[in-house]
């Protein structure tokens, strides 16, 4: 991933140096386990644990000759270990190291991501409680519908992000598996006890069965969980982008001192971070699709998945980590324009209260259809600029035959749209 979207901690996790360091971690644990079960001498395991190291430049030099990164890595390590290196990687195949170390890196990357999901969840909870009963207009089809509250918007985000976090944690659990079962997964040259011991020491679970590789449905589930997280972030970001539109003006990203919105138009304040999050979500969905293509491999393994994973797994975790960081920043600096929200609710003389009026009329006039026509003709008149809805209703002789002015005014009271918010909050937040 390009540096622009790479934060230091996640970037360091996927750096080449750390990749080889993780491979070495697996090799050392494998040697220790084999010595424990008397497959290799204890002396060899101690020498490997003490002396094993590598040189990245040397590995790259050797790979140019061997065209095999694991062999190049093992040769570099062997140069540090000396004679006992003959017991390094004993009975193992490359994927025993690659897949087990990849699981470690993905699990560690997931821990970094989960911390940022928690930050986002906490910030959304703060906003939901702060704006719990602050009224705003609800929209369906992009058109004014009925009043709701800002807090309920955030409650929806909170609930969705918690679902995505739960699915992400389940996917992380399913990727936290290692294997050390040899070239076709049948333990021809190793005892399953070695695999179990290595995985336990590394904080992984031994796969119940594998071929030369761990099965790639695990990786696809993980990448898909990242794509779903990104898509939810995009959904939240798109709401902010829409509400920042000049003609709406209800929410906006913060705008820092010295920030500039446009090279040409000094008045501009654009939702650039929310837009960036939307772009990142597109990347994540692409990575998820590529991960699904990787599930199908020939027989016990081919390497069609390898080149794909070298790109999509580091990149997906890096850009989601970045998107979460930016999203939390947007939440912390979010501007809520309560005055504009009220203006929009009462646009056209309170058109959005039409259902309350419909319900009030249906009983007295004896027909919901008749009541609907009575309300609609006034709403359409107000919508076409022939007056304010509330005033038109009060002047409607047919309506005034069954409703008093005070009864009409009651239909335009926001209390009906906030009265059950507390009950919803108890379901979502537990308090």
Q: 68 vs 62, 74, 211, 312, CA distance in Å?
A: 8, 10, 20, 20
Three-state DSSP class for residue 363: helix
DSSP one-letter string for 42-68: HHHHHHHHHH----HHHHHHHHHHHS-
Phi, psi torsion values for 144, nearest 5 degrees: -50, 130
Which 3-state string (H, E, C) describes 258-306?
A: CCCCCCCCCCCCCCHHHHHHHHHHHHHHHHHHHHHHCCCCCCCCCCHHH
Beta strands in 280-367 (DSSP E): 335-336
Q: Which of 89, 95, 101, 141 is catalytic?
A: 141
End-to-end CA distance of the chain: 42
Residue in the block written with tokens 């850009």: 319
CA distance 303 to 86: 27
Find out whether 393 and 380 touch, Cβ atoms under 8 Å: no
Residue 330's contacts (CB-CB under 8 Å, 6 or more residues apart) are: 237, 240, 253, 254, 273, 274, 277
Query: b/e map of 376-386 (b: 16 or more CB within 10 Å)?
Result: eebbebbeeee
DSSP 8-state secondary structure symbol assigned to residue 5: G
Handedness of CA 16, 18, 22, 24 (dihedral sign): positive
Find out whether 54 and 80 touch, Cβ atoms under 8 Å: yes
Known catalytic residue: 141?
yes
Known catalytic residue: 362?
no
Find out whether 209 and 177 touch, Cβ atoms under 8 Å: no
Q: Which of 68, 262, 367, 404 is catalytic?
A: 262
Q: 282, 263, 262, 377: which is closest to 323 by C-alpha?
A: 282
Q: 333 vs 240, 255, 329, CA distance in Å?
A: 12, 8, 6
Residues recognised as catalytic: 141, 262
């Amino acid at each position: 991933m390009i540096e622009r979207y790479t934060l230091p901690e996640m970037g360091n996790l996927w750096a080449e140096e750390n990749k080889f360091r993780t491979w070495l971690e697996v090799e050392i644990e494998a040697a220790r386990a084999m010595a424990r079960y008397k497959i290799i001498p204890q002396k060899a395991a101690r020498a490997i644990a003490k002396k094993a190291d590598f040189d990245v430049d040397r590995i790259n030099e050797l790979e140019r000759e061997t065209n095999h990164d694991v062999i190049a890595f093992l040769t570099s390590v062997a140069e540090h270990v000396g004679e006992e290196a003959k017991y390094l990687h004993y009975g193992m195949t490359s994927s025993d190291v690659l897949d087990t170390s990849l699981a470690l890196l993905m699990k560690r990357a997931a821990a970094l991501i989960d911390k940022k999901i928690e930050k986002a969840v906490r910030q959304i909870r703060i906003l939901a409680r702060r704006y719990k009963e602050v009224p705003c207009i609800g929209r369906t089809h992009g058109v004014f519908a009925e009043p709701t509250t800002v807090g309920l918007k955030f409650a929806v985000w909170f609930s969705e992000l918690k679902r995505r976090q739960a699915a992400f944690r389940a996917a992380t659990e399913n990727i936290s598996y290692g294997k050390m079962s040899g070239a076709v997964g049948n333990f021809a040259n190793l005892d399953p006890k070695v695999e179990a011991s290595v995985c336990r020491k590394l904080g992984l679970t031994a796969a119940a069965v594998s071929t030369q590789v761990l099965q790639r449905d695990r990786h696809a589930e993980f990448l898909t969980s990242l794509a779903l997280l990104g898509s939810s972030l995009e959904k939240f970001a798109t709401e902010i982008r829409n509400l920042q539109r000049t003609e709406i003006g209800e929410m906006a990203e913060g705008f820092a001192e010295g920030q500039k919105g446009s090279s040409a138009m000094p008045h501009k304040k654009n939702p650039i971070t929310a837009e960036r999050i939307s772009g990142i979500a597109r990347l994540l969905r692409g990575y998820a699709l590529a991960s699904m293509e990787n599930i199908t491999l020939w027989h016990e393994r081919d390497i069609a998945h390898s080149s794909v994973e070298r790109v999509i797994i580091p990149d997906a975790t890096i850009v989601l980590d970045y998107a979460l960081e930016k999203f939390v920043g947007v939440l912390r600096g979010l501007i809520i324009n309560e005055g504009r929200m009220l203006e929009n609710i009462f646009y056209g003389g309170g058109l959005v209260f039409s259902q309350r009026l419909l319900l009030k009329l249906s009983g007295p006039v004896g027909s919901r259809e008749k009541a609907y026509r009575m309300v609609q003709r006034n709403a359409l008149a107000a919508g076409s600029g022939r007056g304010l809805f509330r005033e038109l209703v009060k002047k409607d002789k047919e309506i005034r035959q069954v409703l008093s002015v005070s009864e009409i005014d009651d239909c335009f009271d926001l209390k009906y749209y906030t009265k059950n918010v507390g009950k919803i909050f108890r379901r979502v937040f537990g308090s």
